[in-house]
Chain A
Amino acid sequence: MTSPIPLRLALVVAGGAIGTAARLGLGLALPAPQGSGLAAVPWATFLANVLGAFLIGVLAARLPSSSGVRVFLGTGVLGGFTTYSAFAVGSMTLWQAQPWLAAAYAVASVVLGIGAAALGLGLARPRTSHTQAHG
């Protein structure tokens, strides 16, 4: 299942473009952060990150990290779908106007992200095996 680095790199680039397109599409579908209150929260980034964390948990439960499919879907598609830079800059931007909301957004993203990944790992774990997946 282990493939050479150039092939894996190509899988990551292709998957990353697909995941990025999905994230950008979500950003266009949802209203951009504006004004004050909950409307100022970057919801598209939040949703992409929590959903992506859940899906990478599912993947990690089912596929070894060395598999080409895992590299394409996990490192590529979900790596491109989720984003840390927009999360950090979005938290900072929100902080300037509404620090408490920014703190809630940042903490909730990480807490729900970890919870979603754990949920994905738990739900997708093969019942016949006790193998633990690491990513």
Chain B
Amino acid sequence: MSPLVFLFAALAGGLGAGLRYLVDLGVARLVGTRYPWGVLVINLTGSFVLGVVTGGFPDAAFIVGAGLLGGYTTFSTAMLDTIALWRDGSARAAAFNAVGMLVLGIVAAIAGLALGIALRG
């Protein structure tokens, strides 16, 4: 891999992180912050689009997939949110944040993969 491709992927990850910040702010304004809906929306849409890229556009896998979508989605905040929900006494919300997000994320990835394969034709 050329250093330039690596640099572009890292910069794409920065843009993805910025997009995550804005989507999280927007979702919080729409539905409030009792449950971290923003991170759920981000991780599900990111998993779906990475499925599309993996199935239909493998040439974009490094810069768009690993870079942009890797920076857009986040695992660390989801784990921290799960603990915060648990400590706040929302055991069901904590369980959903851990297990529900995982199951829905994999379902989103499968749906994205199917769409990607269909688009590639």
Question: Measuring CB to CB, which residues of chain A are less than 8 angstroms from any residue of chain B?
Answer: 5, 8-9, 12-21, 23-24, 27-28, 48-49, 52-53, 55-57, 60, 74-76, 78-89, 91-93, 95, 106, 109-110, 113-114, 116-118, 121, 132, 134-135
Contact = CB atoms under 8 A, between A and B. Distances in A.
A16 B83 CA distance: 23
B87 A132 contact: yes
B18 A13 contact: yes
Contact of A79 (B54, B74, B108): B74
Given A56-B79, A81-B76, A89-B54, 8 more contacts: A12-B21, A23-B70, A24-B66, A84-B101, A86-B69, A87-B105, A91-B102, A92-B110
B98 A110 contact: yes
B104 to A, nearest CB: 9
Of all A-B residue pairs in the complex, the 7 with the closest CB atoms, nearest first, are A16-B17, A20-B13, A17-B14, A88-B105, A88-B47, A82-B75, A84-B73
Interface of B: 1, 6, 9-18, 20-22, 25, 42-43, 46-47, 49-51, 54, 65-67, 69-84, 87-88, 98-99, 101-102, 105-106, 108-110, 113
B75 A53 contact: yes
A135 B81 contact: yes
B71 A80 contact: yes
B1 A75 contact: no
A92 B106 CA distance: 6
Contacts of B11: 17
Given A89-B51, A110-B98, A20 B12 contact: yes
Nearest to B24: A75
A51 B46 CA distance: 21
A14 B14 contact: yes
Residue from B20, B47, B80, B84 having most chain A Cβ neighbours under 10 A: B80
Contacts of A52: 75-76
B54 to A, nearest CB: 6
Contact of B98 (A12, A23, A85, A114): A114
A129 B10 CA distance: 38
A83 B73 CA distance: 5
